Amino acid sequence: MTDGRPQTVSELYPSKWLKAADLGGRAVVVKIVAVDVEEFRQRDGSKKLAAVLTFERARKRMILNKTQCGQMVTITGSERFADWVGHTVMLAPAVAHNGKATIAIRKAPPGDGKAVYGASKAEEVEPAP
């Protein structure tokens, strides 16, 4: 923002949900602190349940699709949402089969859990000050 005025659509209409663009082209390692199931209204007016991840010291939460839920099951070895809490995972920008940008969830590499891979921003997923 310049002079307190938004300069981009994202600044004008910020989202509370993590999107691939928020990763800024790099992978980040995050710790899951909560998993909730929330109801979302679809464009056609119908309602749909989805799993939502909350990460330690992150500003945004992540709505999971079926593929991402499957990735979590593979990483954690459990279909139970409660078993996902406490796991450290790597979020990486990816492209879905339909050609749209998405976030792949991968097993975090060994280390201190503070790794960031690649370049650019991702302020929304970095630890809050």
pLDDT digits (tens, 9 = 90+) for 21-39: 999 999 999 999 999 999 9
Query: Is pLDDT of 2 > 80?
Result: no
Query: What are the pLDDT digits (tens) for 47-101?
Result: 999 999 999 999 999 999 999 999 999 999 999 999 999 999 999 999 999 999 9
Query: What local confidence, expressed as pLDDT, does residue 119 receive?
Result: 37
pLDDT in tens, 97-126: 999 999 999 999 887 555 554 433 443 444
Domain 9-117 has CATH 3.40.720: no
pTM of the entire predicted model? 0.81
Mean predicted lDDT score pLDDT of the chain: 87
The full set of domain ranges for the chain reads 9-117
Identify the pLDDT of residue 116: 55
How many residues does the structure list for the chain? 129
Bridge partners for 105 per DSSP:
91
